A and B are shown apart, each in its own frame.
Chain A
Amino acid sequence: MSNKQKSLTQKVKTAKVVRRIIISTFLFTTVFTGTLLVSEIFILPRLTRVEIEGSANSVSDVQQYHSDLTASLSKLEQERNFYVLPLQNELFSAMKEIKYGQKDYVIQKEMLGKAADDFFMEGERVVFLYSMHFDAQDSTLEVRGDVRNVGPRSMTILAQFTESVRSLPFVSSVQNPRFSREYSEELGAYSPFVLRIHTQ
């Protein structure tokens, strides 16, 4: 058999196989798609519905019911608070919020004092605080003081004190102070500082 004849026979065989496969594939896909369509329209909605108060609900119904219920609870809560809380006045409530937002400055002062007292070198205090200025409107605090009794290491101790202040629970952020070493006859080498603190 020549090569040409061989190729022709092969093509005829392939065409026969394809024709047979197409019919069965067509039948399969038609039945399969039909079954899925029936399931999509009639079976799936029944299986995926959940029952609330005796009625079947789709996913979107459940979501809607949940959000309606949450809204009605919040309304009921407001209504209850209206009757239970003795004074409902918009201005007074807003003013109280300002008051609640103002911090316990004594606790902040004590924490800063303790942070300064933690720095001791050879039995001597090292960090001295001159003043604390609490700005209640901006929630900021300005601390003035100096580091002394540590010779030329005063700037290093100031950096450590700044880090110690930064870790206090009421502190949101601390603006780094200006690091300088000055000399006076009374104090020797010392580093004066101003710490600007944003409180939480």
Chain B
Amino acid sequence: MALFSVALLGVSKGLITGHIGAVQDVQNISVPLLAEISDLERRGTVLTEQVELAELQSAIRVGSHEERMHVYVLPTEFDLDRIIALFDVMSLAMEGKDYATDVSPIEMREEYKVREGLYALPVSVSLSVRDDGLSELLNLFRIAGLITVSDALNSEELDLLFARTEEENPAGVVALEKFLSTDLLEYALEPKPVDSRLQRSFSGPAFMAVLNEILNDSLLNDSRKLLGGHFGQVLKQQGLWPMPFIVFDDITMAPGGTDGWNRIDLHLLVHRRGE
């Protein structure tokens, strides 16, 4: 009987521990999750509404950016005429503003395979650039290959815009879609109508604050500065937009002979896709 009592006490201890654990689980797991679940359910409703609206909007979308990407940005063959013309326009524009001088001949090496379905053509050029023209020169290659406004925004910036849309006006996703799919050059040449169309859909200060921050700090701002003037018009007139996809390989900057000038050696990689 004594042994049986001891065994029952052991079982009781286990049951008490189980009770405490169950209560703690409710307190530590269920209650916090429950608080999150109501927010997630609310977000689910908003997202479902946005998906329906965006689907309708995409059905009436005109023109394919994918086709332009395949023909101009990442073609299956390097279009040397367009590449040279782009460098030509760039150096003339820089020299015209007295931003650059002593532009070297453009050198191209053998193309090579970066990975399956992607090839790179190394292109080098040297030039003397004034301090205030340096950003413009490098921004040209940071923008080369981008097509729409959405391409000039990185994933964090896009996520921020989507989050604010969800919070402030879920139906504003239609205006956001129009904004993001605007051609980057068209936007840079005339940003005000595009910006104000988006701003009309959102009256709250939180969205406006995020939008203004993005407009000022992202590559979109650099795009507006670079493409918004004569250079953008020339690219449009000469059919050089959208530009081929170019990234930096390496850059050497050294002080130029005169104060405020730099000697820049640019090594770039122009890309194409595989057949």
Inter-subunit contact A52/B37 (CB<8 Å): yes
Inter-subunit contact B36/A66 (CB<8 Å): yes
Tell whether A167 is near chain B: CB-to-CB under 8 Å: no
Inter-subunit contact A106/B134 (CB<8 Å): yes
Bound CA span A30–B5, Å: 8
Of A7-15, A82-90, A153-161, the stretch lying at the interface with chain B is A82-90
Q: A62-B33, A63-B29 are in contact. List 8 more A-B contacts (CB 8 A).
A: A22-B5, A59-B29, A80-B47, A80-B173, A83-B177, A96-B145, A96-B151, A137-B249
Bound CA span A145–B271, Å: 34
Bound CA span A104–B40, Å: 37
Instruction: State the B residues within 8 Å of A (CB).
Output: 1-2, 4-5, 8-9, 11-12, 15-16, 18-19, 22-23, 25-26, 29-31, 33-34, 36-37, 40-41, 43-44, 47-48, 50-51, 54-55, 57-58, 61, 65-66, 69, 73-74, 117-118, 134-135, 138, 142, 145-148, 150-151, 154-155, 158, 162, 173, 176-177, 180-181, 245, 247-255, 271, 273
- Classify chain A's interface size: 35 or more
Inter-subunit contact B51/A76 (CB<8 Å): yes
When the two chains form the complex, which single residue of A25, A96, A99, A131 contacts B254, counting CB atoms closer than 8 Å? A131
Tell whether A42 is near chain B: CB-to-CB under 8 Å: no
| Interface of chain A residues 78 through 107 with chain B (CB within 8 A) | 79-81, 83-87, 89, 91-92, 95-96, 98-100, 102, 104-106
Question: Could you pull out 18 A-B pairs where Cβ atoms are within 8 angstroms?
Answer: A32-B12, A36-B16, A37-B15, A40-B15, A52-B34, A62-B29, A73-B47, A77-B47, A84-B50, A84-B180, A85-B150, A91-B118, A92-B73, A95-B271, A106-B134, A109-B134, A132-B252, A134-B253
Inter-subunit contact A129/B26 (CB<8 Å): no
Total contacts A-B at CB 8 Å? 186
Inter-subunit contact B40/A66 (CB<8 Å): yes
| Interface of chain A residues 145 through 185 with chain B (CB within 8 A) | none
| Interface of chain A residues 1 through 36 with chain B (CB within 8 A) | 22-23, 25-26, 29-30, 32-33, 36
Query: What does DSSP make chain A's interface, helix, strand, loop or mixed?
Result: helix
Bound CA span A173–B151, Å: 31
A109 neighbours in B (Cβ, 8 Å): 134, 253
B12 neighbours in A (Cβ, 8 Å): 29, 32-33, 36
Minimum CB–CB distance for A70 against chain B, Å: 7
Instruction: State the A residues within 8 Å of B (CB).
Output: 22-23, 25-26, 29-30, 32-33, 36-37, 39-40, 44, 48, 50, 52, 59, 62-63, 65-66, 69-70, 72-73, 76-77, 79-81, 83-87, 89, 91-92, 95-96, 98-100, 102, 104-106, 109, 129-137
A77 neighbours in B (Cβ, 8 Å): 47, 162
Bound CA span A190–B15, Å: 79
B154 neighbours in A (Cβ, 8 Å): 100
B34 neighbours in A (Cβ, 8 Å): 50, 52, 62
Minimum CB–CB distance for B190 against chain A, Å: 18
Q: Across the two chains, which residue of chain B brings its CB closest to A132?
A: B253
Inter-subunit contact B54/A80 (CB<8 Å): yes
Inter-subunit contact B248/A102 (CB<8 Å): yes
When the two chains form the complex, which single residue of A36, A85, A91, A136 contacts B248, counting CB atoms closer than 8 Å? A136
